[in-house]
Amino acid sequence: MAVKFNEETKTFTLQTSKSTYKMKVDSYGMLLHTYYGFPTDESDLSYLIAPDDHGFSGQVGEIIDDRTYSMDYFPLEYAVHGNSDFRISALRAGKKGDVPALDLRYVSHEIRQGKYSLPGLPALFAAPGEEDVSTLEITLKDAYEEIYVKLLYGVFEKKNVITRSAVIENRMEVPMELHRAMSMSLDYLDEELDLVHFYGKHVGERQFERRPLTHGITEIASVRGNSSHQHNPFVILCEKNATEDQGGCWGYSLLYSGSFRFRVEYDQLDSTRIVCGISDNEFVWDLAPGESFVTPEVVLTYTSEGFSDLSAGLHRAYMDNLIRSPWKYKKRPALVNNWEATYFDFNALKLVTIANHAADLGLDMLVLDDGWFGKRDNDKAGLGDWYVNERKLGCSLQDLATQINRMGLMFGIWVEPEMVNQDSDLYRKHPEWVLEIPGRMPNQARNQLVLDLSNREVIAFMKESLDAIIDSANVEYIKWDMNRCVDNIYSTANPGLSQGAIRHLYVLGLYEVQEHVLTRHPNLLMEGCNGGGGRFDAGMLYYVPQVWCSDNTDAIERLRIHYGTSFGYPMSAVGAHVSACPNHQNGRVVPFKTRGVCAMQGSFGYELDLSKLTEEEKAEAREQIRFYNENYDLIQQGTYYRLTSPFENHDYTAWSYVAPDQTRAILAAVHTDLHGNPKPRRVKLKGLQKDALYEADGTVYTGAALMQGGVVLPKPECNYDSYLICIRKIR
């Protein structure tokens, strides 16, 4: 098995195809972290710790005469508050009413085949027939109280992935409190590392940023109730020399869709600790006797082969072992969404007209966006009233869906079930169902309030409403949106809970509703959305195979958004559409061809009024749809390579897709700046067979030539010109 325990040295060794992860139980029962990196053997690497008296680094419990032994600089497997370790910690807890302090010691462990699961939370799973997956469960106990912590590890040997979670158990006869319950911590002895993270804003999500760690604490977090547009629950720590193709890098991805916290400390002895999990901002969670708390899962991966290899490994693991939708490998519909075509101003006639053009162009689906329900002619009213506005449509939802289906198109619909307008029947009937602080006027965003998903009545209402919508017509696709962050955090159903506990219960309620919908409607294609990319995280992929990547539909800005997203998430999960020009977000004008090239990086569609296309644009659209359909498997399932960075190369951005058997590839390039008397622009491909012969645009190359020499891009004919070059192996 990939997990081994040496009884003599008390060391655990977790092996994957490209990494080794090591721990040791020392003579005091402390669980030390001793190694995570390039594959090595089962040696006990605890000798690297080198105990010494470092001054003002105290001792814990019975260890009073050895000043060279201190939790304040020893590398720990799960760092806790209160055991003389003054660095950032993963767990701060204790008996209710007492000072929170813990001193965890090893009790036992269990190694078993297969992968653990987490009740009510997303987690990786072993795919059918995948027998190289193991679980390690280590039990720790506080030295003074009946407080237990189970550390869970899932080892996917061939996928080069390790997962972690923690379960905190109260076996006392009195209540306990959690003030911080993170999913993991991990210590590096003396690495000088860079941090890569993905910051952003609404319509500018997941922007790549790399910076060296400096002494002190660096934090990447969200307190917005969602994973957020501003930060993403995925970070990379990497060696200074790490590039796309070489160098050690460690990826940490939290499978969670709510407020989160990553903290990295570069400490007094140049050691590095990373801690991540649920945000502990105002977090207090009561555990009654016999109760336990389960933390979200973290996916860890290490490679010595650079960012491209790290990304490819995560992409494959998420496709095979995280996304459960039957649509993950099945061809998804190329669609048209009416939002930027009509906004709230539509009726059945307008929609059917768009659908007619969609069918003529060869599209597969029409998606009806916001405004079809309640008294919803703008964003100020009607949200929460999930009944069809037949006066506005001019027909029932079933009648509209039937008309769409008769054209050979599937029918999809937009919902925003977590939100409500004050001007709605739902709010007038149930004002107590919203998150609202008593005695204060609520903060609003987009004229919306947030429904209280810690309230069981609200959860039941959402389930019933969504079932009724889907059952009312042949709805085969749902776009699930959320257009504000979560604040006003007070629950009339749970008035004694802390704000942090309500935030977590909200996420658990969201997951429960989505699980219900997918269980009740197993063939439904559901796309996540949160004002675009505000909830683009690995936790959401457990429930949806794709997420609307950003409300910014400008092709050129999408280059940066897609680039950053690709580091941690498969491109098949990226919802991307061709939109109108001038672009509705920034006014930029981009050639229709280039808009298609950029949108094909993800799950492809259109977001414009098809009836207003010129004949030339219609011809271009038919070609885009044909190309996408013919190359769907390669684009969606091939290995995705970032060939240039839009943050470094301001002249052009290039990427490629390579088939798993390396027999086919597509090179895509977009020119982003023009110059007089331009120099030739050469792009080197990746992932081909060096000794094979490939044909590209009528010319034959060896794989080595394409990868080491590259191809010369055609000279751009206009601003933002683009190219798709198909490459196929001929021998």
Query: DSSP letter string over 364-399?
Result: -EEEE-S-SBTT-SSTTB-TT--SB-HHHHSS-HHH
Q: Which of 320, 326, 430 is closest to 384 using CA atoms?
A: 430
Percent of the chain with pLDDT over 90: 96
Percent of the chain with pLDDT over 70: 100
Residue 388 has pLDDT above 80, yes or no: yes
Domain with CATH 2.70.98.60 in the chain: 3-321
What pLDDT score does 275 carry? 98
Domain with CATH 2.60.40.1180 in the chain: 642-729
What pLDDT score does 64 carry? 80
CA dist 349 → 279, 494, 579, 605 (Å) = 48, 46, 21, 21
Is there a catalytic annotation at residue 309?
no
What pLDDT score does 442 carry? 94
Token readout for 250 is: 């460690």
Confidence of residue 61 (pLDDT cuts 50, 70, 90): confident
CB 162 within 8 A of CB 156: yes
What pLDDT score does 100 carry? 95
Site of tokens 């309620």: 509
Q: How far apart are CA 125 and CA 154, in angstroms?
A: 9
What pLDDT score does 1 carry? 77
What CATH architecture does domain 642-729 belong to?
A: Sandwich (2.60)
pLDDT, mean over the chain: 97
DSSP state of 434: B
Confidence of residue 138 (pLDDT cuts 50, 70, 90): very high
What pLDDT score does 63 carry? 84
SS3 559: helix
Q: Which helix (H) or strand (E) holds 319?
A: helix 306-321
Beta strands 147-156; 664-671: pairing state = unpaired
Site of tokens 């010319």: 699
Site of tokens 């649920």: 278
Mean pLDDT of 556-584: 97
621 Cα distance to chain centroid: 30
What pLDDT score does 282 carry? 94
DSSP state of 448: B
245 bridge partner residues: none
**Would the pTM of this model clear 0.95, i.e. be above it?**
yes
SS3 425: helix
What pLDDT score does 552 carry? 97
Q: Hey, what CATH topology would domain 3-321 get?
A: Beta-galactosidase; Chain A, domain 5 (2.70.98)
Q: Which of 595, 541, 530 is closest to 568 using CA atoms?
A: 541
Q: How far apart are CA 632 and CA 106, in angstroms?
A: 51
Q: Which of 375, 377, 589, 339 is closest to 479 using CA atoms?
A: 339
Confidence of residue 403 (pLDDT cuts 50, 70, 90): very high
Confidence of residue 196 (pLDDT cuts 50, 70, 90): very high
What pLDDT score does 141 carry? 98
Q: How far apart are CA 88 and CA 80, in angstroms?
A: 8
Q: How far apart are CA 71 and CA 74, in angstroms?
A: 5
Please provide the DSSP assignment of 65-110 as one string: S-TT--TTTS-BSS-BTTSS--S--SEEEEETTSPP---EEEEEEE
Is there a catalytic annotation at residue 617?
yes
Largest CA distance in the chain: 85
What pLDDT score does 131 carry? 93
Angle between helices 615-630 and 592-599 (to 10 degrees): 20
Mean pLDDT of 266-288: 96
What pLDDT score does 193 carry? 97
What pLDDT score does 287 carry? 98
CB 380 within 8 A of CB 421: yes
72, 364, 537, 607: which is the annotated catalytic residue? Answer: 537
Confidence of residue 191 (pLDDT cuts 50, 70, 90): confident
Site of tokens 């508050």: 81
Give the phi and the psi of residue 620 in degrees, each rounded to 5. Answer: -65, -40
Q: Which of 254, 412, 302 is closest to 36 using CA atoms?
A: 302
26, 390, 617, 633: which is the annotated catalytic residue? Answer: 617
User: pLDDT for 100-134, tens place per residue?
Assistant: 999 999 999 999 999 999 999 999 999 999 999 99
Residue 727 has pLDDT above 90, yes or no: yes
Token readout for 161 is: 């992935």
Q: How far apart are CA 392 and CA 545, in angstroms?
A: 32
User: pLDDT for 491-517, tens place per residue?
Assistant: 999 999 999 999 999 999 999 999 999
Residue 684 has pLDDT above 80, yes or no: yes
User: pLDDT for 307-361, tens place per residue?
Assistant: 999 999 999 999 999 999 999 999 999 999 999 999 999 999 999 999 999 999 9
CB 100 within 8 A of CB 110: no
